[in-house]
Amino acid sequence: MFTGLIEQTTKIKNISINSNGAKITFSADFDDVKIGNSIAINGVCLSVTNIENNCFEADIMLETLNLTNLKNLKKGDIVNLERAMGANARFEGHIVSGHIDTTAIVKSISKDGFALRMTFNCNTDLIVKKGSIAINGVSLTVVDISNNYFEVSLIPETIKNTNLNNLKAGDTVNIEYDILGKYIQKFTQPKYGITLEFLKENGF
């Protein structure tokens, strides 16, 4: 589990992609990570397979490549990193699983006072205004929404410390919807019998 608060960014040292999957290599200032531990790269939960002098390796299976923007990465690209949340850590951001739901395309970027306002095109069925969303692993609040796009606003701290500051119109980002919304959508399907009428009848 992650929180969507990026710990650091780093440049990809190497990424090799073939018909079987991919291997990614990156450096990070993490002195407590062991082989088998989870690190989110651009919001994608990956397991560390090798460590040498603060240089980490991870495998990326085909399913992950197909669903995320990791397939577009190349040597030198900057990615967001977050270690899995410790059980004794303060829980900030929001619940982020590291399991990407879809990708979105950057529609526009504009100044909004000291912030940057970013608009993304994607399916918005599971997005709510003022709700949480993870973009490239960054926990953000949705400030506006329509049928096929949503908007977020980035404070200077987020702009400075994540790779979202490198985005431009047309770029692809990883999207993880709020996990609460995904469960609600599932359990309100007709086969589960939880309807608006059922909730009203039971005091909700």
What CATH number has the domain spanning 8-83?
2.40.30.20
Which tokens in the block code for residue 197? 């009428």
pLDDT in tens, the chain (204 residues): 899 999 999 999 999 999 999 999 999 999 899 999 999 999 999 999 999 988 999 999 999 999 999 999 999 999 999 999 877 777 788 989 999 999 999 999 999 999 999 999 999 999 999 999 999 999 999 999 998 999 999 999 999 999 999 999 999 999 999 988 888 777 777 776 777 777 788 887
In whole angstroms, what is the distance from residue 71 CA to residue 151 CA?
25
Q: In the 8-state DSSP scheme, what is residue 96? A: B
**pTM of the predicted model, to two decimals?**
0.90
Start-end of H helices in the chain: 62-67, 156-161, 179-187, 196-201
In whole angstroms, what is the distance from residue 57 CA to residue 15 CA?
9
Q: Is the separation of the CB atoms in 134 and 4 below 8 Å?
A: yes
Tell me the sheet residues that pair with 8: 81
Outline which parts of the chain fall under CATH 2.40.30.20.
8-83, 102-179
Residue 77's pLDDT is: 97
Q: How far is CA 98 from CA 104, 160, 166, in A?
A: 16, 22, 21
What CATH number has the domain spanning 102-179?
2.40.30.20
In whole angstroms, what is the distance from residue 132 CA to residue 135 CA?
10
Task: Give the angle subtended at the CA of 55 by the CAs of 68 and 97, to the nearest 5°.
Answer: 35
In whole angstroms, what is the distance from residue 34 CA to residue 56 CA?
10
Q: What torsion, rounded to 10 degrees, do the Cα atoms 186, 142, 198, 95 define?
A: 50
What are the φ and ψ backbone dihedral angles of 198, each rounded to 5 degrees?
A: -60, -45
In whole angstroms, what is the distance from residue 195 CA to residue 192 CA?
9
